[in-house]
């Protein structure tokens, strides 16, 4: 492993500060680490509901189920699509409304307005607007675009998950928008000004300075949104199809199954979910380490 002297110094701080920092990090991570250890013990039948009724074979049985991978794939698809749409939206809004005029400030305020709305409330709203008996379907019917509200294409409980994707995009965009506004306000003007003073045209500044700056600054937020959406339960429970059954729903279904012996399956699924989220974090670290400002 190659380390620059500076990287080494920053990565491993010495003395008391390092000790306290490590303890603090451990205190934060402890519930997750304990949870993962408990889930691992539950997965092989040492602890938890239905303990003793299965061994390591449970792990392979669960992981060889088509429904599990279909559910995991579906959850990743929804997470990727809504994170991509929310990121794109946040970038567009941040670039378009970055000034200090009244219009720009209003636009930024409106963008972050959905931030305090709970996910469950957003999902209920999504069902009421996007469902086949929802506002959109009734409006389209009233305007004569469709013969009956039921003719509206299914957006809730649909196999592609469009209703859920749109709802989660609407809910996550304000968070990413807030990050984007901060990144641009803190570092944008100086770097853009430097590029322009070196003769870069407006589009070049956007392409080579503003967008890379934004994406790099937003990356931790993007990873957080992706991991959150992949594991989110409430909105998924209200809007996702019954097949494929999203990973969080499948996990809960097994954890509350009538047959006690089946509940241990949920621990395997929890580990799978944690593994997928961890992969996103690892990917983020890899991207950070590769970039010109790998340590920033």
Partner 1 sequence: MRQPDGANGICARVLLLIAALTTLTACRDDTPPAPGEVASLPWPEIVAAARGSEVTWRMWRGDPAINTYVENWVAPRLEERYDLRLRVVDGRGPEVVNQLVVEREAGARGRADLVWINGETFHNLRQEGLLWGPWAERIPAAAYVDSASAIVMRDFEQDPEGFESPWGRVQFALIYDEARTPDPPGTVAELAQWIDEHPGRFSHDQSFTGVTFLKILMYALSGGVEAFEGGFDDVAYLRGRDRTLEWLEARRDSFWRGGRAYPGGVAELHRLFANGEVDFTMSNNHNEVTTKVRQGLFPETARPLLLREGTIANAHYLGIPFNAPNPQGAMVVADFLLSPEAQLEKAEPGVWGDGTVLDPARLPEPWRRRFQALEQDPRALPADSLQRYALPEVAPEYHERLAEDWRRRIRPVGR
- Of 47 and 206, nearer to partner 1 (C-beta) is 47
Stretch that binds partner 1, among 17-25, 161-169, 217-225, 271-279 (CB under 8 A): 17-25
Of 256, 281, 258, nearest in space to 269 by CA: 256
Of 195, 194, 213, nearest in space to 204 by CA: 195
- Of 30 and 185, nearer to partner 1 (C-beta) is 30
Q: Is 67 in the site for partner 1 (CB under 8 A)?
A: yes
Of 86, 231, 242, 111, nearest in space to 173 by CA: 86
Site for partner 1 in 109-148 (CB under 8 A): 127, 131-133
- Of 163 and 177, nearer to partner 1 (C-beta) is 163
Q: Is 21 in the site for partner 1 (CB under 8 A)?
A: yes
- Find the shortest distance in angstroms from Cβ 246 to partner 1: 11
What does the alpha-carbon distance between residue 269 and residue 66 come to, in Å, rounded to a whole number?
Answer: 13
- Of 89 and 131, nearer to partner 1 (C-beta) is 131
Site for partner 1 in 152-191 (CB under 8 A): 154, 157-159
- C-alpha distances out from residue 56 to 150, 250, 252, 267, 280, Å: 47, 20, 21, 12, 27
Q: Taking a C-beta distance cutoff of 8 angstroms, is the pair 120, 234 a contact?
A: yes
Burial environment of residue 98 by CB neighbours within 10 A (0 to 12, 13 to 18, 19 or more): middle
- How many residues contact partner 1, by CB under 8 A? 44
Q: Taking a C-beta distance cutoff of 8 angstroms, is the pair 281, 231 a contact?
A: no
- Of 112 and 140, nearer to partner 1 (C-beta) is 140
- Find the shortest distance in angstroms from Cβ 133 to partner 1: 3
Site for partner 1 in 31-50 (CB under 8 A): 47-49
Q: Is 293 in the site for partner 1 (CB under 8 A)?
A: no
Q: What ranges make up the beta strands (E) of 140-275?
A: none
- Find the shortest distance in angstroms from Cβ 74 to partner 1: 12
Q: What ranges make up the beta strands (E) of 171-284?
A: none
Q: Is 287 in the site for partner 1 (CB under 8 A)?
A: no
Q: Is 70 in the site for partner 1 (CB under 8 A)?
A: yes
Interface mask toward partner 1 for 250-269; x: CB under 8 A: ---x-xxxxxx-xx------
What does the alpha-carbon distance between residue 39 and residue 268 come to, in Å, rounded to a whole number?
Answer: 7
Query: Phi first, then psi: what are they for 232, rounded to 5°?
Result: -70, 140
Q: Is the bond into 244 cis (omega within 30 degrees of 0)?
A: yes
Stretch that binds partner 1, among 77-85, 193-201, 249-257, 284-292 (CB under 8 A): 249-257
Q: Is 242 in the site for partner 1 (CB under 8 A)?
A: yes
What length is written for the chain? 296
Applying CB under 8 A, which residues contact partner 1? 10, 13, 16-17, 20-21, 23-24, 27-28, 30, 47-49, 51, 66-67, 70, 127, 131-133, 149-150, 154, 157-159, 237-238, 241-243, 245, 249, 253, 255-260, 262-263
């Amino acid at each position: 492993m190659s380390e620059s002297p500076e990287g080494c110094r920053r990565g491993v701080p010495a003395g008391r500060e390092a000790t306290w920092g490590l303890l603090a990090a451990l205190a934060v991570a402890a519930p997750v680490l304990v949870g993962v250890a408990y889930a691992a013990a539950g997965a092989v039948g040492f602890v938890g509901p239905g303990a003793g009724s299965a061994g390591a074979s449970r792990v392979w049985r669960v992981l060889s189920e088509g429904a599990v991978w279909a559910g995991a794939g579906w959850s990743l698809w929804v997470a990727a699509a809504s994170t991509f749409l929310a990121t794109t939206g946040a970038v567009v809004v941040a670039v378009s409304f970055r000034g200090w005029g009244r219009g720009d400030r209003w636009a930024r305020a409106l963008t972050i307005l959905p931030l305090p709305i709970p996910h469950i409330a957003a999902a209920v709203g999504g069902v009421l607007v996007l469902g086949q008996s929802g506002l959109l379907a009734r409006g389209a019917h009233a305007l004569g675009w469709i013969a009956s509200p039921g003719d509206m294409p299914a957006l809730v409980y649909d196999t592609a998950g469009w209703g859920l994707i749109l709802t989660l995009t609407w809910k996550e965009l304000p968070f990413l928008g807030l990050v984007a506004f901060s990144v641009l306000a803190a570092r944008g003007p100086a770097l853009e000004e430097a590029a322009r003073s070196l003769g870069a045209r407006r589009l070049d500044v956007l392409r080579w300075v503003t967008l890379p700056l934004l994406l790099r600054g937003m990356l931790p937020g993007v990873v957080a949104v992706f991991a959150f959406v992949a594991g989110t339960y409430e909105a998924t429970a209200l809007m996702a199809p019954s097949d494929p059954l999203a990973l969080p729903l499948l996990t809960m279904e097994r954890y509350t199954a009538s047959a006690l012996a089946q509940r241990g399956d949920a621990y395997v699924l929890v580990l799978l979910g944690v593994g997928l989220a961890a992969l996103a974090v690892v990917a983020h670290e890899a991207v950070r380490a590769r970039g010109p400002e790998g340590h920033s």
